Structure 1
Amino acid sequence: MSKTIDHIGIIERIEGDTLFVRIEQESACSECHAKGLCTTSERKEKIIEVMTDNFNAYHVNEKVIVSAELSLGLKAVLLAFVFPLIIVVMAIIIGTYLNWDESTNGTIGLALLIPYYVILYYFRNRIKKKFVFTLKKLI
């Protein structure tokens, strides 16, 4: 099993030592032979920022492979989905213990996500440094 996540992309633009690569993110079922009949398959285009010291070796519209460690995907899932779910569930459990009604529990659980996402936004540059992507030329 591979320990990296790889996507083929095209370099959109180069700004200093940062390359902006457009990748096409596909759902797991996008390779299915029945995807034309199915409405659940989806594709999204994303722009990935890749920092590199060797930016002179690349040019705009060049096809490349963008790679990331598998552990980065797991960290992203934790930050985006697992921690917010834990916050909401804990708020509901505590609210139930304090005999709050269901609407109050839900409202407070969702309201607690606001400071969580504000904190994530505040630390976005520090988080961005931990999510490192590498480039390989597509041969």
Structure 2
Amino acid sequence: MVNDQEIRHTGKIVDFTPEKISVEIISEAACASCHAAQLCGMSESKTKIVEVPAQLGYEPGEEVWVIMKKSMGTKAVTVGYVFPLIALVLVLLASLLAGLPELVAGLAAILAVGIYYFIIWLLRDKLKNTYTFYIKKK
């Protein structure tokens, strides 16, 4: 039974270590009909590798469901797209209200977004622990 609080993709286990399982997510035609396809990074490429905490009972080559809570997807979209957009608009407006030329204001806004993503990159290890996938047998 599919839970409406989960985002599921079909995956194939490609690597197994005592600490983690690497799963290749298989792109499906269902992505085209998904209402969240425009927001989801999965619809943009053919395959992605995700890591999940190691669990017993799985073997390389096995097909599994890769599952993430829908709330984690919403949080990822917020951190990845909404906050940078807010930073861009706020810095652009503040720069223009401060009397800076449009070119300088635009560059300042782009720089602010670049700094935001650099901070996200610096926090990648902490964020990696926040966004966790898990797997279930098909």
Q: TM-score, normalised by structure 2?
A: 0.83
Query: Alpha-carbon deviation of 1:107?
Result: 0.4
Query: Alpha-carbon deviation of 1:24?
Result: 2.8
Query: Alpha-carbon deviation of 1:42?
Result: 5.5
1:83 is aligned to 83
Number of matched pairs? 128
Deviates more, 1:103-112 or 1:17-26: 17-26
Match for 2:10 among 8, 11, 23?
Answer: 8
User: Which residue identity is paired with 1:113?
Assistant: V
Which entry has the higher C-alpha Rg, 1 or 2?
1
1:117 is aligned to 117
Amino-acid identity (%): 33
Which ranges in structure 1 are unaligned for 5 or more consecutive residues?
33-40
Query: Alpha-carbon deviation of 1:78?
Result: 0.8
Query: Alpha-carbon deviation of 1:44?
Result: 2.4
Name the SS for the 1:112 alignment partner.
helix
Distance 1:128 1:78 in 2: 15
Contact 1:10–1:62 at 8 Å: present in 2 too?
yes
Contact 1:30–1:42 at 8 Å: present in 2 too?
no
Distance 1:26 1:102 in 2: 44
Query: Alpha-carbon deviation of 1:16?
Result: 2.3
Which ranges in structure 2 are unaligned for 5 or more consecutive residues?
35-42
Superposition pairs of residues 1-139 of structure 1, within 5 angstroms: 2-25=4-27, 30-31=32-33, 43-52=45-54, 54=55, 56-138=56-138
Contact 1:19–1:51 at 8 Å: present in 2 too?
yes
Segments of 4+ moved more than 2 angstroms: 24-32, 41-44
When the two chains are superposed, the root-mean-square deviation of aligned CA atoms in Å is: 2.1
